[in-house]
Structure 1
Amino acid sequence: MRRVYLFLALTFFAFGLNAQNVQVTFEDEVVNVDDTVNIEILPDVTFKSYFYIENITESPISAMAKYTKILSEEGDEFLMCFGECTIGNVAGPVTLNPGEIFEGFDIEFTPTNTNNRLLKVELYEELTNDILHQYYVKYYSETGLEQAKSNSFYVKAYPNPANNHVKISYSIPNKYSAAKIVVRNMVGQVIEQYDAKVSYNASLNINTSDFVNGVYFYSVIADGVTLSTKKLVVKH
């Protein structure tokens, strides 16, 4: 009988570890429990990583955020914002109602070199300390600074969904001579068009206060070639 009780206890314990109370999203991709988010870094360039947190239970959650340095350099400082911003490793609490998506969680890091770093990020219940979700953030570099600046391409929008404004951060490889960012609606009509810099680590601020609520698509086009198209949601 004791073996049965032990088996049941272990089963419930394992179920508790695997039960997911919140869903974490990074750059439109779901981050599962114990996943690793990889972020390529360059020295003296600030990297801000945004994570969306959704309460997928039927009850309110009072959530805290914590990171632990698994691999780091002396003097490394991370700025974590979870409701409020802190240079400490714990932030919160933030109340998440059922179905609510919280967009105010980000971690900012400015490396002084390209050595690898690794953080363990934990979201936990304020009163019980129960783990809601945990994952890892790895900072790494595979290329030299000038090569990365020359060849790098990325684009992302924040916040998304947007209310009155959205910031589009991007890098466009210097092999292109001219670029633009085009915003279209669901039927493909051009709503706005902006000149973009052929540059590393550039950004564009767009006023969306006059945009009608709905789904849009923003594209980065360089020398007539569409490099990327992503979804933008406007919700006032």
Structure 2
Amino acid sequence: MKHIYLLAIIVATAFGASAQSVEPVETWEENILVPDGESEGVYSMYMTNVGSSDVNLRVSAHVVSIVFGAEYRFCWGPSCFLWTTEDYTSPDQDYWIVNIAPGAVDTTFYTDYRHNDNDGISTIEYCWFDVNNTSDESCYTLNWHYGVPFGVDDVQKVELSAMSPNPVTGTSSFTYQINGNPVNVNIVFHNLVGEKVQEVQAQGPNGVVFVNADDFETGIYFYSIVADGKVLSTQKMVVSH
């Protein structure tokens, strides 16, 4: 097996029990080429809780499309689940719910894709959600390529999504992605007068950031993705209590 990519998912704070139902968050997408000679691809995902409260998460996988004869599975917490071609959600039992303490990093999630010598593209969407409020989720789509290369147009550049939902009244999220391999990647929040109010060090060049309104005063803020000291992109968010 070969680990092809690494994704860092940042949980900026606990999913608040007071968070309201949210609009569907934007789905972030990645193309992965399984090289010739490799029987399967493996994609790892790290999750860091930089908030002040525990988070308790489950994960679901939705098969958008899958090549006939191919299969996938994912591992989460203490278990790797069965290979399948269908949708699957980690069980709603304490044993399979992953708790991440403040400041801790969870490295238990990864997903495998077996092409079984069948060429084509399989698309699977993964969503992480709070066990106490399943409407609060963030999703990530993997396009597995085997025998079907993708071109330059498929390679994503620097991207920083809009906050969703915005205004932030409970828990909201946004995604970022950076080409290349920067040494230091940070998410920096400033208020309207330019004062830095929060800075988060990312675990890698790609991630999902969860923001809780309780960590900010009511007002207008700007969040930026900063790689090796260079501001690459900035978006605005509004916090309302």
Which TM class, normalised by the smaller chain length? 0.3 to 0.5
* More RCO (CA 8 Å, sep 6+): 2
Q: Please give the TM-score of this superposition, normalised by the length of structure 2.
A: 0.43
The answer to which structure has the higher helix fraction is 1
Q: Please give the TM-score of this superposition, normalised by the length of structure 1.
A: 0.44
